[in-house]
Amino acid sequence: MYMKHLDFFKEGIRNIRTTGTITRSSRFLCREMIRPVDFEKAKIIVELGAGDGVITRHILKNMKQDALLISFEINDKFCEILRNIHDPRLVVVEDSAEHISAQLKAHGFEQADYIISALPFLSLPKDLGINILRKSAAALKDGGIFVQMQYSLLLKHLYDSIFDKVSLRFVPINVPPAFVLVCEKSKVIGAV
């Protein structure tokens, strides 16, 4: 089901730049990450940085049967675990989140209703992170929501420059404590 805590820790240490953490998200953080989602209306949700599927499972538990979840993850061990979630609504993509639009189109969608991201933007190369954020904003429908977890607010200005409205929530019951940024799109604005 999930990777064992010690195995997750080892994988996090081995690939800290791409995992961004050595512990999986708490149930409190998972709940906060999906709280902005209107599951009654969501037809297509994209998850960036799915890890071993802890947030993925929360999304699937709440999704309608006719909805689709496209989960991006570049770590092959995590992808193996994700592929063992036997749910026809889940598509696991072992590729960079930069290819979000191509994957949406490959599954019959132009844009996503929601994007839920656990990508470690602070540890990614700056140009890559900006590129993924811009492509994510472009891949969201007008009125769509991008939800991002962060352990620091150092990059909040980046979200503010790309999305129309950014609200912030704090989740203290997580190791480490985390921030959840809820970014709304009515149109893509600004440049970094």
Percent of the chain with pLDDT over 90: 76
20 assigned to some structural domain: yes
Q: Please state the rounded mean pLDDT for residues 90-104.
A: 98
Considering the entire predicted model, what is its pTM?
A: 0.86
Lowest mean pLDDT, pick from 97-111, 134-148, 171-185: 171-185
- Type and span of the H or E element at 169: strand 165-171
| Confidence grade of residue 25 (pLDDT, cut at 50, 70, 90) | low
Contact 147, 114 (CB under 8 A): yes
Rounded-to-integer distance, Cα 71 and Cα 68, Å: 10
Residue 100 lies in a domain: yes
In a domain, 110, yes or no: yes
Residue 190 lies in a domain: no
Virtual torsion, Cα 17, 18, 21, 23, nearest 10 deg:
-140
Rg (CA), the chain: 15
- Quick one: tokens of 37? 């989602």
**Least confident window among 23-27, 63-67, 131-135, 180-184:** 23-27
3-state secondary structure of 30: helix
Please tell me what DSSP assigns to residue 98. G
Is residue 112 within 8 A of residue 44, CB to CB? The reply is yes
Q: How many domains does the chain have?
A: 1
Show the domain range for 59. Answer: 5-184
At residue 26, the pLDDT reads 80
CATH number at residue 44: 3.40.50.150
Q: Indicate whether 191 belongs to any domain.
A: no
Show the DSSP H helices in the chain as ranges: 5-14, 16-19, 27-34, 54-62, 76-83, 100-106, 126-139, 156-162
Check pLDDT > 50 for residue 69. Answer: yes
Please indicate, yes or no, if residue 176 is contained in any of the structural domains. yes
* Residue 34 in domain: yes
